[in-house]
Chains A and B, each alone.
Chain A
Amino acid sequence: MEMRTYILRRAVTAFAVFLVILTINFIIFHTIPGDPIRTLFQDPRISPEDLAQLRHSFGLDKPLWEQYVIYMKNSLTGDMGRSFSYYGDPVGNIVKVRLINTLILVGSASVLALIMGVAIGTVAAWKRNTKTDFSLLGSSLFLYSMPTFWLGMLMLFALSGSVPSGGMYTPGADYANVFDQFLDLMHHLVVPMTVLTLVLFGQYVMIMRSSLIDVLSEDFIVTASAKGLTGKEILRHHAVPNAMLPLVTITAINLSFVVGGAIQTETVFSWPGVGRLMYDALITRDYPILQGSFLVVTAVALLANLVADVTYAFLDPRVKIR
């Protein structure tokens, strides 16, 4: 009963935040200098009448408040408008494809980074202040602080010839079947995924390590030890599950950040993801695309945080609902 109210309250808060962010999105994109129609049709052979016509067809001739009302209504009903630059394509379709592409890359890398982070962080904490700890932590930090584009370029050149230089699929390939296409995707995915994993897992290591060290110094660990449990049992059944709690939050925060922020990896490897879509849209002042992709990234962020909150409540009895 209590849990249900908790979830409901969390959801309502998330929705309210969502509305505020929607509004901020609208304001931000309309204060950027530059007329989108001018940008789109830089060809001045287009007469003023044609420009007016185009402005009208995109609804840009309406007063700002009316554009805002339409925007809010459409956003909430899932209609994100039509792209300025891809001549009238629905934003939803464009963003959907790009989001899936990004999730393939970011999702696989995040899961790998999380697994590696937890494993290495655990070992480092368990053997803290030993050579193992220093070398694991040191190399994690080293990779974590490595600029993504630089690591990406290095990998690209180092492996050049054996992996594709960019894209998700081989241009012009005819696939015999879906499995072939999957293999081609894997071929293209392996390097960007590895790069993203390498730069991501460092922070998980650090958080896991310090969190576990904290937990290991708690009284219940001493109690467990006094009960005669072995180190392995203490670690697996008492320490690690508790220590992983902060990772739930950090994963949720990261996921939303990475979805929009994989732009460096996407640029180095010409991966057609949502980060590059946003960048291109910013250059061309494609408001609907920008708003649409920000909307999606925002939704992912809020959803991930909501899930984290709820998961927390289930995992940690101390989070109680007052």
Chain B
Amino acid sequence: MVLSSAGFLGVVRAADEGVPSGGTLRIGWLQEQDTLNPFVTNTVQGRMIQKVIYDTLLMWNKELVPTASLASSWTTSTDGLEWTYNLVHNATWSDGQALKASDVKFTFDMIKTLDLSAFKDQVKFISNVTTSGDYQVVVKYSGQVGTIASDMCLVPILPEHIWTGMNKSQALAATNEAPVGSGPFKLTSWVKGTSVELTANKDYWGGAPHVDKVVFEFYANSEAMINALRNNEIDIIPKELPPTSISVLNQDENVKVATNVDLYYREISINCDATGQGNPTLRDVHVRQALSMAVDKSVLVDLVQLGSAEPGSTIVQKAASAWWNANETLWPFNISMANDLLNDSGYLDFDDDGIRESPDHATEMSYTLLVLSRWPEEMRTGQQIQTWWQQIGVKLTVQSADANTINSYVYPDYKQDMFLWGYSGQPDPNFSLLIMLSNQIGDWNDCGYANASYDALYDQQATTVNVEQRKTIVNQMQDIIYKDAPYIVLYYTTAKGAYRIDKFTGFVNMPTGLLSDVNRFTLREVHLITAETPAKTDYTPWAIAAVGIIVALVAIAYAMMRRGGGKEVNPRAEQRPEPPLKK
């Protein structure tokens, strides 16, 4: 059964012929990558850089559907257990060596043998990888797997001659400062805390990028970064614009704001861990449902995100539109319904202090919400929810904390009541669903939710190859979590970016934004509007100004001292009566 054939990239390249090449695309960002090691990177920035340095066998296209990449075509056996990938013939590593099927086999074998957690899930069911010639790889699976195509969009193919012979701790500790990859760009410098520079791979098998260089410039605050975009110091801000800046940028005729759905939501994670130390009333599903009903998400979207988000519902990000459960019947924001539910469940205000107690009178419904300190805007979310919950007899204390402090509450003892957090996902829902598995408690599962039938459905969807059947299961799982409400998903955020339109064109605005770990199209397709020899910046006037200021200040200082001394002594200065100042 042929699932795909070559041509996707070829088509793109053909259409691009004749565009001017050259230029340096300057990108502003607020956080740099943590590391260049693909096995330990844990930031969106890190994964984004990985995606342009390395290739994957398949990649998500602009509609987030897996398509050909390093594998120009692939076939599966009728039982679905054997996948055969045909590699492109002209791929080379950035050190000049040819990329061969043996590199692909090596990559999977290495992840499997060393049990490298970053891509462990993607190779879990692979039983054996063989090569046939230099350009064909056959991957055999031990059972039916529903996520193979998207798994292949995640695992970067690494050069055997660089990574061979490493043991596990070497692989994890590798700094990979000069990565050897096969992707459209090579990393040429990383000045930590300052900038990252990528140079176009002119020999890229899929066609060289049009720009010569891409530079990521690190800004310590968003105001300066926006200022830099407006002043033509940078060409693009991929996705970190604060909502407040959008109306300003919309007025700038040289700048275009580009927003799109993002694979990201923010949620309140409620501690329902049976052995945890959070408020025990939260383990009652009715309590969580009542709390959930008493949150008006559309108000939060307007108030906190200034309209640039969508109200949240399920734990699959809305941008993963193929899998997001659009039919979820949402609870309306309804204070009296929430009150009724709590009354019916026996949570009443026994001691008349305005706060309900548990049916056994032992525990007050008084909770602490931890909010990440680097999201100051979410304090408003907390305060708003505080007033809503007050109306259902629940006392909420909102507290700001940094990520570490929150982590130390959650792990390993689940001491928190609830905290506000966010998750980014993949185009495939597998990861988003995994968060709620009971075997993830202590790991991804930060709310302690455990449900055996949910766990069983997870395994079932992971091994269901038929997309429609898998969708049914995935929908069911989203429904379970929505109704059990361990997470109150507040909103699906929007990727908010902007770029200048006077110099480059060809920016690709797709779900996840202008540039992301899924979107490397922008960097490949962006090009100068007109070929130009970039005018060399002349620093001289300002350097002269800097030196001038120094000289002038010194001169003024000197002159003042001379003048002060040169004049007749101020008669009052000679009078002694002024009392000496004590120190």
Contact = CB atoms under 8 A, between A and B. Distances in A.
Contacts, number: 243
A190 interface: yes
A281 to B, nearest CB: 11
B539 A180 contact: yes
A45 B553 CA distance: 58
A186 B542 contact: yes
B231 A270 contact: no
B227 A165 contact: yes
A118 interface: yes
Nearest to A284: B404
Nearest to B435: A44
A101 B404 CA distance: 28
Nearest to A272: B193
B5 to A, nearest CB: 33
B197 A172 contact: yes
B560 A190 contact: no
B234 interface: yes
A153 B220 CA distance: 13
B569 interface: yes
Interface string A220-245: 00100100001110111000100000
A161 interface: yes
Given A119-B561, A171-B195, A187-B546, A270 B220 contact: yes
A175 B544 CA distance: 18
Contact of B224 (A34, A165, A214, A276): A165
Nearest to B563: A123
A118 B220 contact: no
A234 B566 CA distance: 11
A126 B565 contact: yes
A240 B40 CA distance: 60
Interface stretch (B211-219, B301-309, B338-346, B502-510): B211-219
Contacts of A246: 583
Interface string B249-283: 00000000000000000000000000000000000
B550 A235 contact: no
B118 A45 contact: yes
A283 B403 contact: yes
Given A130-B570, A171-B26, A187-B546, A88 B193 contact: no
Nearest to B216: A171
A258 interface: no
A126 B564 contact: yes
Contacts of B581: 210, 213-214
B241 interface: no
A222 B225 contact: no
Contact of B537 (A54, A118, A170, A236): A170
B404 A116 contact: no
A214 B221 CA distance: 45
A236 B565 contact: yes
Contact of A44 (B231, B444, B563): B444
Q: At the interface, is chain A mostly helix, strand, loop or mixed?
A: helix
B405 A160 contact: no
Given A89-B175, A98-B193, A161 B404 contact: no
A139 B523 CA distance: 50
B221 A267 contact: yes
B42 interface: yes
A285 B542 contact: no
B543 A122 contact: no
A157 B248 CA distance: 14
Nearest to B213: A172
Contacts of B539: 180, 183-184, 186-187
A116 B565 contact: no
Given A57-B169, A235-B564, A171 B215 contact: yes
13 contacts: A35-B407, A42-B42, A45-B121, A57-B172, A87-B40, A115-B553, A126-B565, A165-B219, A183-B542, A213-B581, A216-B573, A222-B576, A270-B219
Interface of B: 24, 26, 34-35, 37, 40, 42, 115, 117-118, 120-121, 168-169, 172-173, 175, 191-195, 197, 213, 215-221, 223-225, 227-228, 230-231, 233-234, 374, 402-405, 407-408, 411, 440, 442-444, 537, 539-540, 542-543, 545-547, 549-550, 553-554, 556-558, 560-561, 563-570, 572-574, 576, 578, 580-581, 583
Q: Please give me the 7 A-B residue pairs with the lowest Cβ-Cβ distance, nearest first.
A: A231-B569, A34-B404, A44-B443, A119-B557, A172-B215, A165-B228, A186-B543
Given A85-B34, A153-B223, 7 more contacts: A39-B404, A42-B403, A118-B557, A165-B224, A184-B537, A186-B539, A276-B220
Interface of A: 32-35, 38-47, 50, 53-54, 57, 85-89, 94, 98, 108, 112, 115-116, 118-120, 122-123, 126-130, 153, 156-157, 160-173, 180, 182-184, 186-187, 189-190, 193-194, 197, 210, 213-214, 216-217, 222, 225, 230-232, 234-236, 240, 246, 266-272, 276-277, 280, 283, 285
